[in-house]
Every structure is written in structure tokens, then in C-alpha cells.
Amino acid sequence: MTTLRALWRLSRPLNVLIALLVVQVGFNLAGQCPLPWARLLAFLVVALITAGGNILNDVADLPVDRVAHPERPLPRGEVSSTLALAVAVAFLLLGVAAAWPLGSGPFGLALVAAGLLVFYDLRGKWIPLLGNLIVSLVSGLTFVFAGAVLGRPEREVFPFAFAFLLHLARELVKDLQDREGDLVAAGRTLALVWPRRRVLTLVRVVLALLILITPLPFFLGAYGPWYLAVVVLGVDFPLVSLILKLESAEPQSVSETMKTLMLVGLVALALWRF
């Protein structure tokens, strides 16, 4: 039971739930509802790849987590890294395989996402900025995957951009949060090769760009006024506040705030018709 509970925690069920919500919002943005079997299969693909990627990340991060996050299951010895690795690989393979009946587009996106996650953990995370870009790209591709299931990936351009930028800013902040652990692992993240102030400047630039483009779908006539109201009041204003206090705020607090704003952003996108 302890092992199962540890694997459940490693999968980060809240992140998996958020990814499933992204898929549902992506279906809504495409303006159609897939057949029940396709919908369930799409959820399964995203859940397996997200969970597998999360577990694989913790396996790869074990040396870092012994310093930065000793409370996590692997550093605590609640589950062996060998078993966790086997489960991660199985989830990723099953996730890609489950995308096959959905067509070449969704299958290709699932394969790319899984491949990028593996590359990230084996090598990409230690290449300054590239690792951050990979995680952000995979996060944005979840929207595109949902659109591709319905044959309308072009409807996901704006949410892809929003997700990419918000995840990129959060990943940069998380690099600052994990800096001490990354030093022990002899890693090379952006937070280790750049001064803290320069990293925070890049975070500000990314967030400012996000604030600038979020109203665009409304002014282009693609989304309605309720979307604009929620995204401006619930996402953009808090982001402006975050930018102003970024220098003094704790990275963990900033990261958690950004995660909350992701959920608010999903609500705004769900209201795109209104």
C-alpha cells in the first residue's frame, strides 16, 4: 500500500487533473464534442503521458530532490527508483499506443510529447533555457492535441501561446527554487549560469508578453467579453502585481501563484463563446 501511495504521489494527480481539464477546454475551443470513445481515449492518453512524465522527472531529479525536496517519496525511500522508472516508461509507452486509434495527428503529437519529456529528463533539463522551453512546449501541446482529435488544431493557437508563456515563466522561477539542489547535482540550469536578477528580468519579459497578448482573441472577434473580463481581472491584474513584487517574493510562492492563475486562465478559455 505504501508503494502504491508513493507512486500515486509521484504521478502528481493534481497536475494530471489540470491536464485533463486542458483537454476538455481544448474540445470546447474546437467547437465540437468528440465521440465518447475518442473522448475517453484522449483523456487516457494525456493522463498516462502526464503521469509517466512526472514520475520519470522525479526519478531523474533524485539527486536534486535529496537536497531541495527531501520530503518526496523517492528521497524518503517509499518506493525504489527502479520500480518508479519501470512504471514511468510503461505509462509513456501506453499513452503513445493509446493515441494510435485517434489518428495520425494525435498519435504524432503524443509521440512528440513523450519523446520530448524523455529527452528533457535525460539531457535537456541541464541545457540552460532549452529545458524550460521543452516543458513549456509540451504543456501547450496538450491544447493542440485536443484540437487535433477533432481535426481542428488551428483553433488552439491562442491557448497554446498562453500556456507556453505562463509555463515558461513558472519553469524559470522553479529553476531559482531548485538552485541549491541543482548545484549538488552539478547541473546547468539558467538559474546557475545567469545571475538571479537576470533570470527575474526574463520572467518579467515573458509575463509582460503574456499580458499583452491575452486580450487579442477578444479584439480579433474570436472570443467573447466574458473571456476578456475573466482573463484581465483574474489573470492579467494578478500577473502585474506579481511582476512588481517578483524581486522580493519567494520562488515557491510565485510558482504556486502561477499554478493557480493557470486554473483561472482555463476558466476564462472555457467562457470563450460568451
Q: Which amino acid is at 37?
A: W
Buried-exposed string 204-240: b where 16+ CB fall within 10 A, e elsewhere: bebbeebbeebeebbeeeebeebbbebbeebbbeebe
CATH of residue 210's domain is 1.10.357.140
pLDDT tens digits, residue range 240-259? Answer: 999 988 888 788 888 889 98
**Cell for 108?**
504524432
Q: Is the pLDDT of residue 182 over 70?
A: no
pLDDT tens digits, residue range 67-96? Answer: 667 788 888 778 888 898 999 999 999 999
CA atoms 259, 83, 20, 120: torsion sign = positive
Q: Is the pLDDT of residue 186 over 70?
A: no
Domain span including residue 73: 2-270
User: What is the distance between the alpha carbons of residues 162 and 264, in angstroms, rounded to a whole number?
Assistant: 12
Question: Which DSSP string corresponds to 71-121?
Answer: TSHHHHTSS-HHHHHHHHHHHHHHHHHHTGGG-HHHHHHHHHHHHHHHHHH
Q: Is the pLDDT of residue 8 over 80?
A: yes
Higher pLDDT pick, 48 / 255: 48
Q: Is the pLDDT of residue 176 over 60?
A: yes
Q: Tell me how many domains the chain contains.
A: 1
User: What is the distance between the alpha carbons of residues 237 and 85, in angstroms, rounded to a whole number?
Assistant: 41
Name the DSSP class of 124.
G
What pLDDT does residue 268 have? 94
> What value does the mean pLDDT take over residues 137-163?
94
